[in-house]
A and B are shown apart, each in its own frame.
Chain A
Amino acid sequence: NAGVMQNPRHLVRRRGQEARLRCSPVKGHSHVYWYRQLPEEGLKFMVYLQKENIIDESGMPKERFSAEFPKEGPSILRIQQVVRGDSAAYFCASSPIIPETGELFFGEGSRLTVL
């Protein structure tokens, strides 16, 4: 399967712990996006990264959330000191070029539950 791979698919954390979500884009794609989806809602843009650069993080909460896409390895979305409100499905998507009109390829999501 050469699609976007996300892991873990399900993650349970207690309040105050850290959550790390990983995303491997489609092979050859250099653009990665992270979205958050709450139950019965659409996807909310969080951050757009290219290799080693954050292009747009306008949707990221100012505190506790960070993202990276290193030269080697997957993109990581990191949530420090998780709270119950962080419980959601986090989707990663990738594209080969700046997608002015193009398709984003989505992974199956990582579902975070904060107890």
Chain B
Amino acid sequence: TQLLKQSPQFLSIQEGENLTVYCNSSSVFSSLQWYRQEPGEGPVLLVTVVTGGEVKKLKRLTFQFGDARKDSSLHITAAQPGDTGLYLCAGYPSDNQGGKLIFGQGTELSVKP
């Protein structure tokens, strides 16, 4: 059972295009995080969203947490080749007994020059 479902799973676009990655669940999360992972490395945290409806911006990246805290989105404006990588959403379920961060299956983004 996939608690967090990401879509699309693969995305190949041209430099300068915009894109949105979605992270959905039927469960409520106390917080959601987005990580980026490059080949041969571990994931690195981009942002944490905690409040339903929250929007956070990180340069050309915009993150949103759904009002019901069941979903999140990552929007990239004017994508660049340096944005290429695996984007992972992850969350702490609201009934979490402590410490168990659940990951989506990831979105593999390729930005071609």
Contact = CB atoms under 8 A, between A and B. Distances in A.
Contacts, number: 70
A58 to B, nearest CB: 7
A99 B103 contact: no
Interface stretch (A11-19, A64-72, A101-109): A101-109
Interface residues of B, number: 28
Interface string A38-52: 001111110010000
Contacts of B92: 99-101
A37 B91 CA distance: 17
B105 A109 contact: no
A45 B101 contact: yes
A31 interface: yes
Interface string B21-49: 00000000011010000001111110010
B99 A42 contact: no
Interface residues of A, number: 28
A98 to B, nearest CB: 5
A56 B44 CA distance: 23
Residue among B40, B43, B96 with most chain A CB within 10 A: B43
